[in-house]
Structure 1
């Protein structure tokens, strides 16, 4: 583990030192066994939350609904390890009492968490109403307490009316439906028992994908910053993901009129990610831009400026998943989806350089195709 304590931040009028870790968390959670679950209704238009007095009956359907959501969250690339901040933290205290056996009443624990989140929601009208599920799970990495914020989605069902002696069937919109097991939850946390020497305290999903965020930082990051009071811990997966995105952003912004150079950068980086266990940013910059010192410096500074250290430990599992298929957007109006093996097979796909900075992308030996 690499540990730094160097940035001072201010939140809610209190200054604290931001902790930055660089760790290898190993395999993500795989085995999941749900023990208990409680659901509460947090409607920001109401004066009080609707707090449940009973645990959910874990029927086969209910168990599968929860399990599929939890499993999907643990497989989500946006799930990151995090550590609780140093200041006093109500969520941390409530959950640790439960995980350490001091208070084993999950209903009361979940009520405290629901009240805390509801108070935050009432302070910002942009935070969507939801059902909050608090669940106790056993995993291959030990016991955890899960917190799932299920924002409401619109759904429709039919309504049958009898008009005289005729049947009329219409549609009714439900604005407070829960996301189905095929849909993604945007915000969740799985908190571990806090033990001395451990490098992170919880897994956090705090995603704004698919949402237009036009409110302030408090509102955009309320789940991690204000509710959980935690900071992301950098592991090999988050570093690998950040590195890939940083390289692509730099290439898009700086190599706009030379497809040959852009292709060389992308191919070189992809090959290194798939072949090497570690990537040294300085050495990579030198290899890519040995004869262009200004580009070399700009590239190196930009990549490191995304919170990355000199050496990146590559998460092979993430790389395999990321590059299983290659998606190419060509001149804004052509999309290509190519499997990794086909992309590297010159009998099926080839990139030809034209000598003027442009390239030809050739799909070869087509014997069957369909139109979608």
Structure 2
């Protein structure tokens, strides 16, 4: 899977997205039944912009991941095929999907209530189906009561506010209707006593891959484990690791796992082998990991943050680590470390 088929070259905005059909259903688990709409939403610019802004954020979210459909006997797959063959079935399909999702929510109280937008849209010649779950948030608004003595102003808590354009949508499903490639953004909730991804496992009934965020966490966790075992948690190994990841993402939008092992652990074949085995054990099987350049995926690795046992904290760009013209780490004979910062023309307080 390419995984980038609806993203513009900038990797930040939906590219020429045109919404065809949209409908909103209310899935409030405090009610006995969902409140289902019998009509599509009006095609208003404000609503269109609202959906596009959220969709742009979703497709660049580092937690977005691929899922693999089991095509035989999969209800979601069959319903998406139905929409593809007959656009007029859109409302009926959305109602059926909303009822399926609501049934899962009623059985599992930890899953939050929300409104669900179903939509079909076209982007760069491809048609897509969208399920965007807008989980409720608490907010406050003013309320004015008219009395004989004048106005009485108060605050009222709103329990069914939807995420605005600047907030994150936590749950979403995107399906390419031409080849049925599917991406999902989901959260874990308690199902039968343990936390699970209910959207992929119980709703889509699909096998999900690791998201970009999860892949980076696997690499990070494996380095930390091997570093603790063999190097007593030396900062040098973690710093090399973060520098390697930052450079790979910035230069090629990808990370080559075996090169990370080479960069961090050098010629020690046994430790490199153990690191690569640990990575696979944690679920990352591919050697080349495609990582789009977005703030959410690279921010952590663009900057090195070190803290000494004496309480001094140092932050510097990752690509400075191996540049001895700017910063040098000196191992002293007594076992201590000196950090020499060079070529400074000005120091300012922040």
- Tell me the TM-score normalized by structure 2: 0.80
- The answer to whether 1:50 aligns with 2:26 is no
Equivalent residue in structure 1 for 2:158, among 174, 179, 201:
174
Long gaps (5+) in structure 2: 9-14
Which deviations, in whole Å up to 9, do the C-alpha atoms of 1:198-257 show, x marking residues without a partner?
A: xx621211135xxxx5554876211111111222357xxx5x655532232233343454
- Cα distance, 1:303 vs. partner? 1.5
Alignment of 1:108-123 (within 5 A): 108-123=92-107
Q: Match for residue 83 of structure 2?
A: 98
Query: Who is 2:288 aligned against?
Result: 312
Measured at CA, do residues 69 and 275 of structure 1 come closer, stay the same or move farther in structure 2, by a change above 3 Å?
closer
1:327-366, aligned counterparts within 5 Å? Answer: 328=305, 330=307, 338=316, 350-355=327-332, 356=335, 358=337, 360=339, 362=341, 365=344
Q: How many residues are aligned here?
A: 335
Match of 2:208 in 1: 232
Pairing partner for 1:297 from 268, 273, 280:
273
Query: In the TM superposition, what is the alpha-carbon distance from 1:129 to its structure 2 partner?
Result: 0.9
Do residues 204 (structure 1) and 180 (structure 2) align? Answer: no
- 1:81 pairs with one of 38, 43, 66: 66
In structure 1, the gaps of 5 or more residues are: 1-22
1:29 corresponds in structure 2 to 7
Residues 213 and 297 in structure 2, CA contact (< 8 A), matched pair in contact too: no
Q: Structure 1 177/351 Cα, relative in aligned 2: closer, same or farther at 3 Å?
A: farther
Range with bigger deviation, 269-278 or 250-259: 269-278
Where 1:48 maps in the other structure, the secondary structure is: coil
Change (3 A) 1:363 1:58: farther
Q: Quote the residue 1:266 is aligned against.
A: 242
User: SS of the residue aligned with 1:105?
Assistant: helix
| Secondary structure of 1:154's aligned partner | strand
TM-aligned CA distance change 1:79 to 1:116, over 3 Å: same
Q: Which moved more, 1:360-369 or 1:107-116?
A: 360-369
Structure 1's 154 and 369: CA in aligned 2 closer, same or farther, altered over 3 A?
A: farther
Taking the aligned partners of 1:53 and 1:310, their CA distance within structure 2 comes to 45
Counterpart for residue 11 of structure 1: none
Q: CA, structure 1 residues 265+231, in 2 after alignment: closer, same or farther (shift >3 Å)?
A: same
Query: What residue in structure 2 maps to residue 135 of structure 1?
Result: 119
Once superposed, what is the RMSD of the aligned Cα atoms? 3.5
Q: How far 1:114 sits from its partner (Å)?
A: 0.5
Mapped pair 1:38 → 2:20: no
Contact preservation (8 Å) 1:124, 1:219: no
| Shift in Å, 1:135 | 0.8
Kindly state the Cα deviation for residue 107 of structure 1 after the two structures are TM-superposed.
Answer: 1.7
